[in-house]
Amino acid sequence: MKIENEIIYLPMFLSLLLIYFLMVSLFYLVGIEPIYRHITPFYALWKPIYPSLLRSLQLPFFIIIGGLSVLYLNHKIYKIMVALFCSIFLLCSSYIQDKTLSFQIFNNIFLFLLITVSMSLFIKVISNKNLEENKKIGLILLRIYLFYILFSIEVASIRDGLTAIAQPYQRTKYEYIGDIGITKNIFELFSRYHEIQPHLSLHGRLAPPGPLSLLWFCSYLIGKSPMSLSLFTIFFGGLAIFPLFLWIKELTYNNTKTAIIGTFLYTLIPSLVLFCATSTEILYMPFLFLSLWTFEKSINKSSIPFIFISGISFAILSLFKFTLLSIGIYFLLRGIIVFLKKQSSFSRLIIWAVCMLIGFFSFYFILYFITGYRPIQVFFQAQKMFQEDIQSLQIIAPRYSLWWFKLFTPLTWAYFTGIPILFGFLRQIGTKNRQEQYEVVLFLTTLLILTLAYIAPGEGERSALYVFPFFLVPSLHFWHNRFNNSNTLGVIILFLIFQTVLTEA
């Protein structure tokens, strides 16, 4: 058994995590308490499952043990023995303390085995020197997709079993599921949306009709029970990994290995795991990456059709959430950087911009022509109702000014993006590479604008899932040269999983 220098990252990440908890605790000690008085970030209610902290740490601890065995034990039989020992210990320990064998313990054991087996298989795939020529990339992506689905479901089930997956959609006064059937059909939903908007659920009335129409359409196929629609949300949201892979591949000049690694790390970002199974926000992620990929493809290939498709994709994306329009800053900055790097003429950039705008507005023009949907009126009505909700909230449960949340929300994103990804992102800011400096400016400025555009008083880890990919890509470039040692990647994967399970447990 040989342990290399990369193992030092594990205690370093753990130290950064503890420093974060200490910092948030100090905020609370001096009286800064945005919503909850708990030390896992500002809006996540930290409420361990078990009264004993040691028992709550039991599963995360054994995940570390299992992960390290995958990385550093040379023989498969030794890895199997460690996994078997940890599983038996979890089973016996829970039975001794609970006097029964509950679903929860078997769920935890399955989660532990899923993690150790998946880590082992992924490290094996990445270690393949012929990965760039591998013709089975689609199969690898399919396996990552299935892992993401299973991992999200298992993590969501840690607390209350499988019923936890459907819990959000059971709140019909808050969620879109309560609005299904509010009109005769989906066509009428769009045509009368400006009329019925004030009568929709709490979340529905503040959003465009995209999420509701998608769930409504799906309900024709699988019914509209909370569980069926929750599972649809997970499976549909998980599809984002396919255009994500293509986007990262375009950004990294067709580097398949980096794109595969980035895609897998995406499935481990704490926020995107914790809320994949419990938030409708995940529904727009496939359209986000479709828009980003086709835009990048159009730049690299000087393709007018792709930039037109990107405009249409961006229009569909904006149909899910108004603040997603702020993603437009990325397209603008990316175009400017292309010009500064002399990769394209100014006149071509203007043509790209016009084609993208044509694609964007064509979608809304056709939608208006067919259904009568009025996006501008719906936007201003949503803005008015949002202000009314904020005023009511201040009376019931006063919070800080929205400008304070320009500090609180990024601190939340810092945690929920995952310590290893955050570390790589921050280190990449200081890069000396000229080409990478352009990228840092692009993603850092995009995140700054997204922060200013996010106007909700809290819940940034749930309702702003679109920010996390912009942390991921610069971090990938920092870790890129260190991925030659697969164990470095293994430590990053292991800690992201540990942090996610720790947060939920």
Give the pLDDT score at 43.
Answer: 55
Measured distance CA(134)–CA(256) in Å, rounded: 9
Quote the longest CA-to-CA distance of the chain: 73
The more confident residue out of 352 and 78 is: 352
Measured distance CA(143)–CA(148) in Å, rounded: 9
Residue 498, token pair as written in the block: 């540990």
Give just the sign of the alpha carbon dihedral 489, 495, 501, 503. negative
Average pLDDT over residues 484-498: 88
The more confident residue out of 296 and 392 is: 296
Nearest-CA neighbor of 175 among 48, 50, 279?
279
Whole-model pTM: value is 0.92
Among residues of the chain, what percentage have pLDDT more than 90?
A: 46
Residue 8, token pair as written in the block: 């030092």
The more confident residue out of 32 and 112 is: 112
Task: Report DSSP state, residue 267.
Answer: T
Whether residue 143 is predicted with pLDDT greater than 80 in this model: the reply is yes
Asked if 197 and 378 touch (Cβ cutoff 8 Å), the reply is yes
DSSP 125-138: HHT-TTGGG-TTHH
Measured distance CA(263)–CA(469) in Å, rounded: 10
Angle of helix 304-318 relative to helix 346-371, nearest 10 degrees, comes to 50
Residue 140, token pair as written in the block: 């690898």
The more confident residue out of 288 and 223 is: 288
Average pLDDT over residues 234-251: 96
Asked if 294 and 315 touch (Cβ cutoff 8 Å), the reply is no
Among residues of the chain, what percentage have pLDDT more than 70?
A: 94
Query: Rounded to the nearest 10 degrees, how much is the dihedral formed by the CA atoms of 15, 19, 21, 22?
Result: 130
Asked if 207 and 320 touch (Cβ cutoff 8 Å), the reply is yes
Give the pLDDT score at 94.
Answer: 76
Whether residue 1 is predicted with pLDDT greater than 50 in this model: the reply is no
The more confident residue out of 176 and 401 is: 176
Measured distance CA(486)–CA(489) in Å, rounded: 5
Can you tell me whether residue 43 is helix, strand or coil? coil
Asked if 488 and 265 touch (Cβ cutoff 8 Å), the reply is no
User: Which residue type occupies 70?
Assistant: V
Tens-place pLDDT, residues 201-217:
888 888 999 999 999 99
Nearest-CA neighbor of 142 among 127, 165, 121?
121
Nearest-CA neighbor of 147 among 244, 238, 256, 271?
238
* Residues contacting residue 169 through CB under 8 Å, at least 6 positions apart: 175, 177, 226, 227, 229, 230
SS3 letters across 200-269: CCCCHHHCCCHHHHHHHHHHHHHCCCHHHHHHHHHHHHHCCHHHHHHHHHHHCCCCHHHHHHHHHHHCCC
Give the pLDDT score at 392.
Answer: 80
Mean per-residue pLDDT over the chain, rounded: 87
Give the pLDDT score at 313.
Answer: 96
Give the pLDDT score at 2.
Answer: 43
> Among 312-326, 408-422, 477-491, which is the least confidently predicted range?
477-491
Tens-place pLDDT, residues 8-49:
899 999 999 999 888 888 877 777 765 655 555 555 566 667
